[in-house]
């Protein structure tokens, strides 16, 4: 039988969540673990001081049979989500936060414990960025109420929070109110008829956990999403994760993939200057060391191409025959993780959001063109045609719901962005890039985490990123949880411009 696990920092929450499970999923089992010291120590020493203990507690719930874990404490919820659990882990306030920022406007954030303020604000900003929302946070702390809760006066605590929320609503200072702590949830019932929504976490979290439970029970190899174009992209042969997701992304963006036995042929009719949209993938490991053969196949397949682009399953034993033909062979690092990549803090001074509007996507184009102008890698005019064609394809896939692009803006200008594409159970990152003067500030690490959570909410079970072996960004990817997987090589010759 499927089991929901709950990590609490107060005993009072056990019966609350047990009752919610009975209502939402009467056939499910539930297991609970209470550790009040986690919150106490996080309040005095910071969340970082208890991160390892939180991970151990999550692991204990998994060992007890939990198929999905919910952390009911807002202060340590982020640490719980980042624990390497092997099962979905959900913080109690995430579904509430997503609902709160959906319409934009002013979000009143009611907290009683100071240690909750930072994690809750970070979560709301993360969800606002993922939704492309213009939500503005309004802090509304109610610290005096917590003394009543700690003294065991739950009714007095709820009355104090309720009076605080009523004053906030009457002042007109918020368009929606979030009750940041699970213990505040009963207060929401007092405001069901008001013009200002007052949102609580527990019921929404249990509903989301039940949905995750159902998803976790579906075998990964037989997804049941007949109307989902991403889920229809099946694995071709037993390809390494880099190639498998490359091909899935290509197909989602309008490419065709033809299996010719010992190699695959990729064509992208809508973008004729996309070199890796018109390429070969070698499947015959025994013929990797025969460059003349594959250059002949490429020339026959793409007679009008001025470039050569051939994916190889491994590095050739001897690069000299390839380089003698003017071909550069490089090894790509393929990094994957089955644990939700960590979300690094957003650096101050940047606005992070999802690309949605025409202006957003035009900024994406400008960002790509500035980088090419800096490196001089491609002729400007031809490269702009390629970038605009690629951007149009990316936008279509995003608007269809199979991908999302997230960006960091500095003083209104896009300075870093990346994409993430749903490829069945995999999520593949795309085009991670930060402008030179904004590097080493944590932008990429933050965007990786934001995008990972977007994909996790849509069923991702593995995250895949590909980078050049020599790219120093690999350190950033490893820092958020990625580890090396089966790599692949590419043989490439630029056209003669």
Specify whether the CB–CB gap between 287 and 281 falls below 8 A. Answer: no
Identical fold for domains 3-90+208-216 and 351-487, yes or no, is no
Most confident of 126-140, 222-236, 383-397: 383-397
Token pair of 456, please? Answer: 């996790």
Task: Name which of 476, 470, 468 is nearest 444 in CA terms.
Answer: 476
Domain ranges within the chain, ordered by starting residue: 3-90+208-216, 94-200, 241-330, 351-487
Predicted confidence at residue 151, as pLDDT, reads: 92
> With respect to CATH, is domain 3-90+208-216 assigned 3.30.300.30?
no
Token pair of 459, please? Answer: 């069923």
Residues 6+ apart with CB under 8 A from 399: none
CA angle 297, 299, 300 (to 5 degrees): 65
> What is the pTM for the complete model shown?
0.60
What percent of the chain shows pLDDT beyond 70? Answer: 94
Token pair of 404, please? Answer: 């999302």
pLDDT in tens, 414-460: 999 999 999 988 999 999 999 999 999 999 999 999 999 999 888 89
Three-state secondary structure readout of the chain: CCEEEEEECCCCHHHHHHHHHHHHCCCCEEEEEECHHHHHHHHHHCHHHHHHHHHHHHHHHHHCCCCEEEECCCCCHHHHHCCCCCCCEEECCHHHHHHHHCCCCEEEEEECCHHHHHHHHHHHHHHHHHHCCCCEEEEEECCHHHHHHHCCCHHHHHHHHHHHHHHHHHHCCCCEEEECCHHHHHHHHHHCCCCCCEECCHHHHHHHHHHHHHHHCCCCCCCCCCCCCCCCCCCCCCCCHHHHHHHHHHHHCCCEEEECCCEEEEECCCCCCCHHHCEEEECCHHHCCCHHHHHHHHHHHCCCCCCEEEEECCCCCCCHHHHCCCCEEEEEEEEEECCCCCCCCCCCCCEEEECCCHHHHHHHHHHHHHHHHHHCCCCHHHHHHHHHHHHHHHHHHHHCCCEEEEEEEECCEEEEEEEEEEECCEEEEEEEEECHHHCCCCHHHHHHHHHHHHHHCCCCCEEEEEEECCCCCHHHHHHCCCEECCCEEEEEECCCC
pLDDT in tens, 164-219: 999 999 999 999 999 999 999 999 999 988 789 999 989 999 998 998 887 655 43
Whole-Å CA distances, 145 to 9, 44, 141, 200: 17, 19, 10, 17
Predicted confidence at residue 231, as pLDDT, reads: 40
Beta-bridge partner residues of 420: 404, 429
Fold classification of 94-200 is Rossmann fold (3.40.50)
Task: Name which of 115, 91, 114 is nearest 42 in CA terms.
Answer: 115
Mean pLDDT of 283-293: 92
Predicted confidence at residue 217, as pLDDT, reads: 56
Predicted confidence at residue 218, as pLDDT, reads: 42
Confidence band of 314 (pLDDT split at 50, 70, 90): confident
Which CATH entry fits the domain spanning 351-487: 3.40.630.30, 2.30.30.90, 3.30.70.1290, 3.40.50.1000? Answer: 3.40.630.30
Predicted confidence at residue 230, as pLDDT, reads: 41
- Return d(Cα 96, Cα 176) in angstroms, integer: 11
Q: Is 94 exposed, middle or buried (0-12, 13-18, 19+ CB in 10 A)?
A: buried
pLDDT in tens, 337-389: 999 999 888 889 999 999 988 999 999 999 999 999 998 988 888 889 889 98
Specify whether the CB–CB gap between 297 and 424 falls below 8 A. Answer: no
Q: Which of 31-45, 220-234, 420-434, 466-480 has the lowest mean pLDDT?
A: 220-234
Predicted confidence at residue 332, as pLDDT, reads: 86
pLDDT in tens, 155-166: 999 999 999 999
pLDDT in tens, 458-495: 889 999 999 876 677 788 899 889 998 888 889 999 98
- Return d(Cα 14, Cα 23) in angstroms, integer: 14
Whole-Å CA distances, 129 to 6, 75, 152, 356, 450: 28, 21, 38, 11, 8
């Amino acid at each position: 039988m499927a089991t929901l696990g709950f990590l609490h920092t107060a005993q009072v929450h056990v019966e609350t969540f047990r009752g919610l499970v009975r209502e939402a999923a009467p056939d499910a089992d539930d297991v609970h673990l209470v550790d009040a010291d986690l919150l106490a120590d996080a309040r005095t020493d910071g969340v970082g001081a208890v991160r390892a203990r939180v991970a151990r507690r999550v692991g204990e719930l998994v060992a007890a049979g939990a198929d999905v874990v919910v952390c009911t404490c807002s202060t340590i919820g982020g640490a719980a989500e980042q624990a390497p659990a092997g099962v979905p882990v959900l913080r109690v306030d995430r579904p509430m936060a997503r609902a709160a920022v959906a319409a934009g406007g002013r979000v009143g954030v009611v907290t009683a414990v100071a240690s909750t303020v930072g994690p809750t604000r970070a979560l709301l900003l993360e969800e606002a960025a993922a939704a492309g929302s213009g939500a503005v946070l309004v802090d509304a702390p109610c610290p005096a109420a917590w003394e009543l809760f700690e003294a065991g006066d739950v009714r007095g605590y709820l009355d104090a929070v309720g009076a605080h929320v009523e004053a906030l609503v009457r002042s007109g200072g918020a368009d929606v109110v979030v009750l940041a702590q699970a213990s505040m949830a009963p207060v929401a019932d007092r405001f069901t008829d008001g013009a200002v929504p007052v949102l609580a976490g527990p019921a929404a979290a249990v509903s989301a956990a039940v949905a995750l439970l159902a998803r976790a029970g579906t075998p990964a190899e037989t997804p049941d999403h007949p109307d989902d174009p991403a889920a229809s992209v099946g694995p071709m042969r037993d390809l390494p994760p880099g190639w498998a997701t490359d091909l899935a992304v290509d197909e989602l963006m309008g490419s065709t993939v033809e299996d010719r036995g010992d190699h695959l042929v990729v064509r992208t009719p809508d973008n004729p200057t996309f070199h890796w949209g018109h390429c070969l993938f070698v499947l015959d490991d025994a013929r990797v060391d025969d460059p003349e053969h594959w250059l002949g196949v490429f020339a026959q397949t793409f007679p009008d191409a001025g470039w050569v682009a051939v994916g190889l399953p491994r590095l050739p034993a001897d690069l000299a025959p390839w380089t003698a033909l003017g071909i550069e062979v490089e090894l790509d690092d393929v990094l994957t993780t089955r644990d939700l990549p960590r979300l690094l803090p957003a650096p101050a001074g940047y606005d992070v959001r999802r690309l949605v509007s025409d202006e957003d996507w035009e900024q994406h184009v400008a960002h790509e063109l500035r980088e090419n102008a800096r490196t001089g890698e491609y002729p400007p005019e031809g490269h702009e045609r390629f970038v605009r064609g690629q951007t149009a394809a990316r936008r279509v896939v995003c608007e269809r719901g199979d991908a999302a692009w997230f960006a960091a803006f500095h003083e209104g200008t896009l300075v870093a962005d990346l994409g993430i594409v749903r490829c069945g159970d995999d999520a593949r990152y795309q085009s991670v890039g930060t402008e030179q003067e904004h590097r080493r500030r944590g932008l990429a690490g933050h965007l990786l985490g934001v995008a990972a959570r977007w994909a996790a909410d849509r069923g991702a079970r593995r995250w895949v990123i590909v980078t050049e072996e020599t790219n120093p960004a690999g350190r950033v990817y490893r820092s958020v949880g990625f580890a090396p997987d089966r790599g692949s090589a590419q043989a490439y010759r630029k056209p003669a411009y």
